[in-house]
Amino acid sequence: MQQKINIRNKKASFNYELLDRYVAGIQLYGTEIKSIRLGKAGLTDSYCFMLKGELWVRMYIAEYDKGTYSNHEPRRDRKLLLTKRELQKINRKLKSTGLAVIPTKMFLTEKGLAKLEIALARGKKRHDKRESLKQQDSKREMDRMKKIH
Task: Show the domains of the chain with their CATH numbers.
Answer: 6-124 (2.40.280.10)
Tens-place pLDDT, residues 9-53:
888 887 888 888 999 999 988 888 888 888 888 888 888 898 888
| 84-137 per-position pLDDT tens digit | 999 999 998 888 888 889 999 999 888 888 899 999 988 878 877 788 888 888
Show Cβ contacts of residue 131 under 8 Å, excluding neighbours closer than 6 positions. none
Does the pLDDT of residue 79 top 80, yes or no? yes
Give CA separation, 130 vs 5, 116, 120, 134, 135, in Å: 31, 28, 22, 6, 9
Q: Which helix (H) or strand (E) holds 136?
A: helix 126-148
Report residue 75: phi and psi, to 5°.
-115, 105
